[in-house]
Structure 1
Amino acid sequence: MSVPSENNSGNIKQNTAKLSVISNSSLFVLKFIVGFSIGSVSIISEAIHSGMDLLAAVIAFFSVKKSEEPPDTEHEFGHGKFEDFSGLIEAFLIFAAAVLIIFEALSKLMEGEHSIEPSGMFLAGVAVMGVSALVNWVVSGRLMDTAKKTESIALESDAWHLRTDVYTSLGVFAGLILIKITGIYALDSVIAIAVAFVILHAAFDLTKRSLSDLIDRSIPEKDKQRIKDIICEHESEYAGFHGLKTRRAGPEIFINLHLVVSGDVTVRQSHDLEDHIESDLKVEFPRSVVTIHVEPCNEGKNGCDRCGSFCNYKKKS
């Protein structure tokens, strides 16, 4: 899979975020019109869900745009965490939407208000739910693909929002048909509550993931192991390395490590080795910021004991 350049990556992310804004705007309007026309709280709950998705898509668009700005005097490490912060805001919005849906549905159940209009508009509601599921499946797939290529948590969050909307829309779609067959209109509120709990689950997962990056959690262990493997490809050129630390800020990955070299290696040679390792890491992690601290190897009769399990310094005979 080819990795897009940094400038091209920003354009791809912004264009994909625009697509999400447009699709969510259209579905939000359609669901509200049809939901109020037939008096379906489950369709209205889906309209609220799409409204939150729309707001999330707008936030995602501005966050990916901001995160692509180069470092400045106030943000010397770049603007990547704008994406993480946007994911947290989106999660809170989804929590709010779920609570609103549950409140509305419980109110209708307690008051006994179950009056879906059994007209042609009812069929329109079924059709809107089917179209919503299809559109969101296509758009969420596009978002997820772009998120993986550009390592964008904002777009990935938006993709998961829409993927959740696919399942809830299908649930409402099936529920409306069941209501039509059974005539049990209280199912409308029950379905709305079920939709709300699905939304709450998605919000909880998104909150955990966003917070993990905001508090500088290490990248996944498999990625960290890949970094070690890349560094070890140069093992004949250094004595060892230690103190490997990683963190993520939006699409950016920060990699810090201490590289131990022989005491007779020149500054130029050690700098060339740093550049070589950094270049190799950027092939695998193109949005990485690599910081390497070079240390001289403690070559004594007892050998080097500062490099841990990665030291390949051989004792002299």
Structure 2
Amino acid sequence: MEKNIKIVTSIAVVVNTFLAALKIIIGFLFNSMAVLADGIDSATDILTASIVYFATRLSSKPPDKLHPYGHRKIENIGAKIISFIVFYAGISLLIESIKRLVTHNYTLIQGIIPITVTLISVIFKTFLFIIEYRIGKKYNRPSLIAEALNMRNDILLSSIVFFGILLNKIGLSFMDPLVGMIMSVIIVKVAFEIFNENAVALLDGIKKDEEWIYDEIINLCNECEGVKNPHKIRIRKIGECFDIDMDIEVDPKINVQKSHELTLCIKDKIKKLLNDKVYDVVIHVEPYQNVENEPYGIGGKNEK
């Protein structure tokens, strides 16, 4: 797993470095705001790919005394940094594009090299998006998925640049800064998407579409004979895995061994439910009091 991720992130750094240098040079030589903006966007990809590269390595470090829950959230932090970088690039491009459009600082782009460069960019970035997204989804790596989503955005940007240059060359010279403006808005939008995607994990929460896990855990507890009133269920994400804390009640007359067996029953069922994507399950056992609890509360379902 780690070997595949290392290969993908290394390829991303090399390809983005090549594309960034190529587009920035062409953008300056042909005075194209659109191509230059696309090159700057690729330059930010070099940094973001580097962040992903180091984040995936640091996150694989085992837990230690100072980090008992491991280092997997480093990937979420890496994705957050990516969102800020992308946002800054988008705002900077927006300001410059508007300035050129308002001041009429645009000209017709000469030659076929700018169009050729944008086509090369689309091809290479499509390749990167496919491999990054597949590997990220396969191993559930948030920072790699974030980088892939940014790459998907780049494919669209380079495509917009291509048509913008084409329209510029047929006489619509204002299309160059206008395309730069459109690109910057898309970049800012993606920055917010990446930010929101990783905010939940850093807040020790889960996504809305994972809320069903609470109800399923309660149902699983009912399948373990002798378990009563599961409550204070709290779920959070650590990397790609779920960390679960909960309380249950049992007959106060049973011995410790039997109580332990009941917790093992619950843990086994939860692991099967979540396809072994479980970091840990901590179950606190209490004597059954035969008292109705509130259906919901702070800290999860059925808090006592």
* 2:203 matched residue in structure 1: 215
Distance (Å, rounded) in 1 between the aligned partners of 2:16 and 2:90: 17
The one of 22, 26, 34 aligned to 1:34: 26
2:185 corresponds to 1:197: yes
Query: Residues 35 and 161 of structure 2 are in contact (CA less than 8 Å); yes or no, is this contact kept in structure 1?
Result: yes
Deviations 1:131-174 (A, max 9, x none): 32232223223222222222221111111111111111111111
In the aligned structure 2, how far is the partner of 1:13 from the partner of 1:293? 37
Residue in structure 2 matched with residue 81 of structure 1 by the alignment: 73
- The question of whether the paired residues in 2 share the 8 Å contact of 1:20 and 1:139 is answered with yes
1:41 to partner: Cα distance:
0.8
Q: Does 1:50 align with 2:42?
A: yes
Q: Report which stretch shifted further, 247-256 or 72-81.
A: 247-256
Shift of 1:18: 2.2
Aligned length: 294
Q: TM-score, normalised by structure 1?
A: 0.84
Task: Check the 8 A contact 1:242/1:307 in 2, yes or no.
Answer: no
**Structure 1 pair 21–266 and aligned structure 2 pair: CA distance change class (3 A):** farther
Contact 2:109 2:165 in 1 (8 A): no
Structure 1 unaligned residues grouped into runs of 5+ = 1-7, 312-317
Structure 2 counterpart of 1:68: 60
User: Alignment partner of 1:233: what SS?
Assistant: helix
What is the identity, as a one-letter code, of the residue corresponding to 2:284?
H
- Structure-2 change in CA distance of 1:240 and 1:95 (3 Å): same
Question: Alpha carbons of 1:194 and 1:290: their partners in 2 closer, same or farther (altered >3 Å)?
Answer: same
State the shift of 1:225 in Å. Answer: 1.8
| RMSD value, Cα | 2.4
Distance of 1:146 and 1:271 partners within structure 2:
38
Q: Determine the structure 2 residue equivalent to 1:293.
A: 284
Separation (CA, whole Å) in 1 of partners of 2:248 and 2:9: 40
Which structure 1 residue ranges, 4+ long, deviate > 4 Å from structure 2? 306-311
Q: Could you say which residue in structure 2 is the equivalent of 1:233? A: 220
* TM superposition score normalised by structure 2: 0.87
Rounded to whole Å, the distance in 2 between the matches of 1:75 and 1:306 is 35
Name the structure 2 match of 1:271: 260
Q: Distance in 1 between matches of 2:131 and 2:280?
A: 27
Native 8 Å contact 1:38 1:116 kept in 2: no
Aligned to 2:63, what secondary structure does the other structure show? coil
Match of 1:118 in 2: 110
SS at match of 1:79: coil
Aligned residue runs from structure 1 range 111-150, under 5 A:
111-119=103-111, 123-150=112-139
| Residues 147, 155 of structure 1: 8 Å contact kept | yes
Identity percentage over the alignment? 25
Letter in 1 for 2:60: E
Q: Distance in 2 between matches of 1:17 and 1:282?
A: 30
Separation in structure 2 between the aligned mates of residue 268 and residue 11 of structure 1, nearest angstrom: 42
Say if 1:140 and 1:163, in contact at 8 Å, map to a contact too.
Answer: yes
The CA deviation at 1:269 is 2.6
Going from structure 1 to structure 2, the CA distance change for 1:259 and 1:307 (only over 3 Å counts) comes to farther
- The 1-side partners of 2:295 and 2:254 are apart by 21
SS in 2 for 1:290: strand
Residues 223 and 212 (structure 1), Cα distance of their counterparts in 2 relative to 1, 3 Å cut:
closer
**AA aligned opposite 2:207:** P
> What residue number does 2:172 align with?
184
Do 1:80 and 1:252's aligned partners in 2 also have CA atoms closer than 8 Å?
A: no
Q: Are the aligned partners of 1:227 and 1:281 in contact in 2 as well (CA < 8 Å)?
A: no
Between 222-231 and 258-267, the greater mean CA deviation after superposition: 222-231
Q: Deviations over 1:94-149 (max 9, x none)?
A: 12111221233234334433234422xxx222122223223222322322222222
